[in-house]
Amino acid sequence: MKRIVLFDGDCNFCDSSVQFIIKRDPVAHFLFTSLQSEKGRELSKQYAIPDNVDSLVLIENGKAYTKSSAALRIAKKLDGLWHLLFLFILVPHSIRDGVYDYVAKNRYRWFGKKEEACMLPPPDIRKRFI
């Protein structure tokens, strides 16, 4: 079963993160959709994702993961040494999410917000977006 990454489609950092994942996921473990899309809203409702979650969600094995848990579970499946980041799962949830929340809170200020539509990806990448 494919894992689905929901992301903030207005955020430059989130868009860069999706591109980062795609480059390190040649087996295509992940599918993608923005939280703002119809499919994203449908999945958010289906998995009871709170409205205040606006950056990154991973749906895997019928469960939704948010914040640092989502990021670490994604890293676990990436090529290279990125899977080693999963060891941070041993850090208490409150500390991991505190760091995650700090970055998420400042992401628009640091990385900006999309002003216009995204560039259309090539067909082999486009099929990974739902």
The domain spans of the chain are: 3-126
- What strands, in cross-sheet order, belong to the sheet with 63-66? 30-34, 3-7, 56-60, 63-66
Q: What percent of the chain has pLDDT over 70?
A: 93
Average pLDDT over residues 84-92: 95
Instruction: Please classify residue 26 by burial: count the beta carbons closer than 10 Å to its beta carbon, then call 0-12 exposed, 13-18 middle and 19+ buried.
Output: exposed
Examine the pLDDT at 119 and tell me if it is beyond 70. no
pLDDT of residue 7: 93
pLDDT tens-place string over residues 30-78: 999 999 999 999 999 999 998 888 789 999 999 999 999 999 999 999 9
> What's this model's pTM, rounded to 2 decimal places?
0.85
Q: What percent of the chain has pLDDT over 90?
A: 62
